[in-house]
Structure 1
C-alpha cells in the first residue's frame, strides 16, 4: 500500500478525461504544433511523450506546453519524467511499467497531482490500485508503431475478460484504453467498461480533429 496516500483525500475523485492525446513529433516544434492543433480542436488532456529526447529538452517543451494548456484550460500530463512534471507544475504524470514507481512519484508530487500507470494484465491493474494511481492506461488494443516495446496485444476479447474481473472490485479507478485505437472502436470499448481512450495518430493525422474529439466526448457524455 502506498504510504504517501492520504486516506482522507480520495484519489478516485480526480477528474480524468475520456480523451487523452499522447503527443507526437520528431522534435520540440512538431510536438508543440500538434499539441496546439489538438487544443484548438477542443482537446482537454495532453500527455507530453518524448521518449527519445533528453530530460533537458523534455523540460523545455513541457514548460511551453504548460503555457499552451493553461491558455486552453487543459490538463498537462508528463510521460515518465516525474521531476519535469514537478518543475513545470504539470497536473501529473503517466508512468510505464519500466518508469519511476508510483509510490516514489507520489512522494515527489504529492496527493493532489494525477498519476496514471500503464497496464497490460489484471495483475498490473491490481498493483496500480494498491499503489494509489488515479487512472490506468490499459492496452494495447492492437498493434501501434508509436511504441517500440509493445506489450502483448489484448484485442477486444482481452479487454472484455480483463474488465469483467476488474469491474467486480470496489474503488476501481478509471481505465483508459490505449494502443492503435480508431474512431470505430470507441462504442465497443465503452460497452466493455472502459472510461475513455488515449490516442495519438488518430488526432495527429486528422484533417479535422475537432470531429473525432467531439465524437469521443459524445460517446462518454463529456
Structure 2
C-alpha cells in the first residue's frame, strides 16, 4: 500500500536532515523519502541507516532517492528514481521483488514508460516552481495535471500517481479532485513551527477529498 502523504527530506534552516525527518515522524509522518544530493556515498549510507532506524521507531517507511544499493544496505523499504536515474528494471534486479520502486514523471509519455517498466508508484510534477530541486522539469500546473490524469484514466492506468513540487495544504483538494492519488511535500513540512498541525491539515484534506472523489466516481458509474 502506497501512502498518500510523502515527505521528501531536506536540510532545515536550523539543524540536520535527521532533525527534519524526526520532526515529521513525531508529527505522524509515515512515508519518508530520503533525498541527499552531492554528498559522498558513505555519508549518504550512514544517513540512510540512521533514517531507517528513526522510521522503524515511529512505524514509518523509508524510501531512498536515487541509490538502490544504499536502500538495500540500509534495509530501507524502497527507492525513488528520477528521470535520469537507473532504469526500474535494473533497480529491481538489485532490490529484489518486494521492495518499493517509485519513478518520476513529467509528461503522460513518462507515465506510459513508468507503467511499462513496472514502477510501483509515480511522482508526477512539478506542480509549481520549487527551489528544492535543481534542473527542474517544466512546471505542470493544475491544467497540466487535469490533462495528464484524464489521459491516464482513458488508458486504464491504476498505478498510484503522486503530485509533487511546491505543494502546500491548500493545494490538496484541487489535486485530489483531478484524480491524483496523493501528494509529496518537502518545504511545507521542513521548516514549519507547527509541523503536527500542518500534517493534520494535509491528512484531513487528503481523506476528505479522496472520499469525495471516490463517491463521485461511484455515482458516475451507476
TM-score by length of 1: 0.90
The number of equivalent residue pairs is 207
Measured after TM superposition, the shift of residue 137 of structure 1 is: 0.2
1:120 aligns with 2:106: yes
1:64 to 42, 47, 50: 50
1:35–1:46: 8 Å Cα contact kept in structure 2? yes
CA contact (8 A) 2:12 2:191 kept: no
Larger mean Cα displacement after TM superposition, 205-214 or 142-151: 205-214
Alignment-derived partner of residue 59 in structure 2 = 73
Distance 1:126 1:171 in 2: 9
Unmatched segments (≥5 aa) in structure 2: 211-222
Q: What is residue 130 of structure 2 aligned with on the other side?
A: 144
Partner of 1:153 in structure 2?
139
Q: Is the 8 A contact 1:18 1:216 kept in 2?
A: no
* Partner-residue secondary structure (3-state), 2:154: coil
Structure 2 partner of 1:111: 97
Q: Deviations over 1:19-75 (max 9, x none)?
A: 100001179x61100000000000000000001211111100000000000000000
My pick for the range that moved more, 181-190 or 212-221, is: 212-221
Correspondence for 1:6? none
- Find the aligned partners of 1:54 and 1:212 in 2 and give their Cα distance: 33
Task: Determine if contact 1:129/1:172 at 8 Å carries over to the other structure.
Answer: no
Q: How far apart are the structure 1 equivalents of 2:47 and 2:97?
A: 25
Structure 1 partner of 2:200: 214
Partner Cα separation in structure 2 for residue 132 and residue 163 of structure 1: 19
Q: What is the distance in 1 between the residues matched to 2:12 and 2:3?
A: 26
In structure 1, the partner of 2:21 is 35
| CA distance, structure 2, for counterparts of residue 220 and residue 182 of structure 1 | 12
Match of 2:38 in 1: 52
**With structure 2 as the length reference, what TM-score do the two structures score?**
0.90
Select the structure that is richer in helix. Answer: 2
Instruction: Please say if 1:204 is aligned against 2:204.
Output: no
Distance in 2, matches of 1:171 and 1:178, equals 19
CA distance in 2, matches of 1:25, 1:52: 13
Separation in structure 2 between the aligned mates of residue 215 and residue 46 of structure 1, nearest angstrom: 18
The answer on 1:190 being equivalent to 2:158 is no
Structure 1 alignment gaps of length 5 or more? 1-14
Counterpart CA distance in 2 for 1:170 and 1:94 is: 23
2:81 to 95, 98, 101: 95
**Greater displacement, 77-86 / 164-173:** 164-173
